[in-house]
């Protein structure tokens, strides 16, 4: 069997039905063979970055590996942002790239790039295949590595002559042996007992739940622990949906733009239980002031993440689901009403500062996000870009299930939302999917609108257009004396852009038109785009300044607007 056929045969054996890609000279043999594999649906993207993000969105919603493909040189390097994004957020994707023939390697041949060298630090593993006899094993091993342990991206770079060469192919007979790769850790029973003892003796326990809870399918166990010992839960950005946000123990997101009451709870708790999260700087702020009064339990799959930022009193290295199942029988039923009342007091104070309480006529983004939640009744998949709108979505759209929010957490990639939403829609074709982007990020990948039409996807799109690179402008306002350097942005007419792709849409400038626009979008078969032209200089609050502790929140003053006529602090 030829190398090019081996690629597709292996994908079929791994259960792959969809590949996002962009062909070119060095991967033409594989694309030629693809014609004989109609069971694999190839999605022609308009840029390779879009292919990588679509594979991410597909994997994030579908729960299995996403696959993207590109040619050598610029095709491969255009995948880099998506690979880095997947690496930071532990998303399993396989990137297949063509490479120049083996006899030209190192000759600076046309479109030759050392893509394995480039992607080494941003992939879980990568391969350069120069011998067709290695290809079947590499394909099987790559999927094993991508899926096993902490998931992540794997790149397979295949020389063009390897794709044309032939070898024997018996996929089932291949045995993956990786002596240096052992991601499975048994549960340490002594540490589980110590963790349970800390929980049972705690008066003010608090859980920070992260993305690992969803990746490990451990949301039920998380909820069982919280309810048994009455422990409130705050989440990271990617952990939103670990527990329904309407649950009485759910506090919302913590960290840089987390609710004030969640950060106050982190600072006041006497036991902090981090589950499936890595204590990154957006959560902790200044490390030497983080949770100073708390004992810390850290439950995490990847041992490299334990003690990297925060040193725990008890480290439970291993699968979240197994760890929680082991912990649950040892935890005593408990009630912490005094602790919960203390947090609710802070929460009430925060509600008095909520910008939605302002009686204003302007169209502001938090209002749009909350109206979108009302319009969908929370029953949709949300894919967001990065920036202010991302934080407003996290604050004002209430997530109630895992894999509902698709967003770039670690890398913070502008241009992520639209292609990731396309991947999400293809993984869940019956679901309502909304892509929410800012005017800046949308223009980075808006050429993928063509894919929506070509694939006949019913995707809905909301653009929050404030005429700025919003979050950068906010930092300039708060920390650079309002010197708006490089952030005012002129945008095209997004409704006309959509129309050029034969996607209907509308523009909203007034609050009273928001609900009708969402209704029109939902009543339209197929895709729909809404451009919201919102008030320009609105800030995301609360905010922990870079380098500050999470106690040092910048907060919006209490809303006193209304009949008094006093303007709210934006």
Nearest by Cα to 423 from 56, 141, 68? 56
Task: List the beta bridge partners of residue 252.
Answer: 234
> Which active-site residues does the annotation give?
48, 110-111, 160, 471
β-pair type (233-235, 18-21): unpaired
- Alpha-carbon distance 33 to 71, whole Å? 15
| DSSP label of 488 | B
CB atoms within 10 A of CB 187: 16
User: Are the beta carbons of 517 and 530 closer than 8 angstroms?
Assistant: yes
What's the gap between Cα 513 and its chain centre?
30
Burial of 401-439, coded b for 16+ CB within 10 Å and e otherwise, reads: ebbbbbbbbbbbbbbbbbbbbbbbbbbbeeebbbbbbbb
Nearest by Cα to 120 from 112, 109, 128? 128
**Does 542 sit behind a cis peptide bond, omega within 30 degrees of 0 on the bond before it?**
yes
User: Are the beta carbons of 336 and 255 closer than 8 angstroms?
Assistant: no
User: Alpha helix (H) ranges present in 90-134?
Assistant: 115-119
- Alpha-carbon distance 140 to 174, whole Å? 8
User: Are the beta carbons of 206 and 271 closer than 8 angstroms?
Assistant: yes
User: Alpha helix (H) ranges present in 446-513?
Assistant: 449-454, 470-479, 494-500
In 497-547, where do the E strands start and end?
505-508, 528-533, 543-544
User: Alpha helix (H) ranges present in 210-358?
Assistant: 211-215, 219-229, 260-268, 281-284, 320-327, 337-351
Strand (E) or helix (H) holding 415: none
Tell me the torsion sign for CA atoms 453, 455, 458, 463.
negative
Query: What is the DSSP track for 123-135?
Result: SSEEEEE--GGGH
- Alpha-carbon distance 201 to 331, whole Å? 10
User: Are the beta carbons of 258 and 234 closer than 8 angstroms?
Assistant: yes
Locate 61 and state its tokens. Answer: 């919603």
């Amino acid at each position: 069997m030829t190398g090019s056929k081996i690629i597709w045969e292996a994908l079929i054996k791994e259960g792959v039905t969809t590949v996002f890609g962009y062909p070119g000279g060095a991967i033409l043999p594989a694309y030629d063979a693809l014609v004989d594999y109609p069971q694999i649906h190839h999605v022609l993207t308009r840029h390779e970055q879009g292919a990588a993000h679509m594979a991410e969105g597909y994997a994030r919603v579908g729960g299995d590996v996403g696959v993207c493909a590109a040619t050598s040189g610029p095709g491969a390097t255009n995948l880099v942002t998506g690979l880095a994004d997947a690496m930071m957020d532990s998303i399993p994707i396989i990137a297949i790239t063509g490479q120049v023939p083996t006899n030209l390697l190192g000759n600076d041949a046309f479109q030759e790039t050392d893509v394995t060298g480039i992607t080494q630090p941003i992939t879980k593993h990568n391969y350069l295949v120069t011998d067709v006899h290695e290809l079947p094993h590499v394909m099987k091993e790559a999927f094993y590595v991508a899926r096993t342990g902490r998931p992540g991206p794997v790149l397979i770079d295949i020389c063009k002559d390897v794709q044309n060469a032939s070898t024997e192919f018996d996929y089932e007979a291949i045995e993956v042996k990786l002596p240096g790769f052992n991601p499975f850790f048994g549960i340490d029973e002594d540490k589980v007992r110590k963790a349970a003892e800390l929980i049972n003796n705690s008066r003010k326990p608090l859980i920070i739940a992260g993305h690992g809870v969803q990746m490990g399918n451990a949301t039920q166990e998380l909820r069982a622990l919280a309810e048994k010992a009455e422990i409130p839960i705050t989440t990271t950005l990617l952990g939103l949906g670990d527990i329904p946000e309407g649950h009485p123990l759910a506090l919302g997101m913590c960290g840089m733009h987390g609710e004030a009451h969640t950060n106050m709870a982190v600072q006041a708790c006497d036991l902090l239980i981090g589950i499936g999260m890595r204590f990154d700087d957006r959560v902790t702020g200044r490390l030497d002031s983080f949770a100073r009064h708390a004992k810390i339990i850290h439950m995490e799959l990847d041992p490299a993440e334990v003690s990297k930022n925060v040193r725990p009193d008890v480290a439970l290295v291993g699968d979240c689901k197994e760890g929680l199942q082991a912990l649950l029988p040892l935890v005593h039923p408990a009630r912490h009403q005094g602790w919960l009342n203390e947090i609710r007091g802070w929460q009430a104070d925060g509600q008095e500062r909520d910008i939605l309480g302002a009686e204003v006529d302007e169209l502001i983004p938090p209002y749009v996000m909350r109206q979108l939640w009302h319009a969908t009744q929370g029953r949709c998949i949300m894919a967001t870009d990065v920036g202010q709108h991302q934080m407003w979505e996290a604050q004002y759209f209430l997530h109630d299930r895992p894999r509902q929010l698709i967003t770039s957490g670690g890398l913070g990639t502008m241009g992520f939302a639209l292609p990731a939403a396309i991947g999400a829609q293809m993984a869940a074709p019956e679901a309502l999917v909304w892509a929410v982007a800012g005017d800046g990020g949308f223009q980075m990948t808006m050429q993928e609108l063509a894919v929506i039409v070509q694939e006949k996807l019913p995707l809905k799109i909301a653009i929050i257009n404030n005429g700025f690179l919003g979050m950068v402008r906010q930092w300039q306002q708060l920390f650079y004396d309002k010197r708006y350097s490089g952030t005012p942005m002129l945008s095209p007419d997004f409704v006309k852009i959509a129309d050029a792709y034969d996607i209907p849409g509308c523009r909203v400038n007034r609050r009273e038109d928001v609900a009708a626009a969402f209704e029109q979008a939902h009543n339209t078969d197929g895709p729909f785009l809404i451009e919201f032209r919102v008030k320009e200089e609105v800030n995301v609050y609360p905010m922990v300044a870079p380098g500050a502790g999470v106690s040092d929140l910048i907060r919006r003053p209490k809303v006193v607007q209304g009949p008094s006529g006093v303007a709210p602090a934006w």
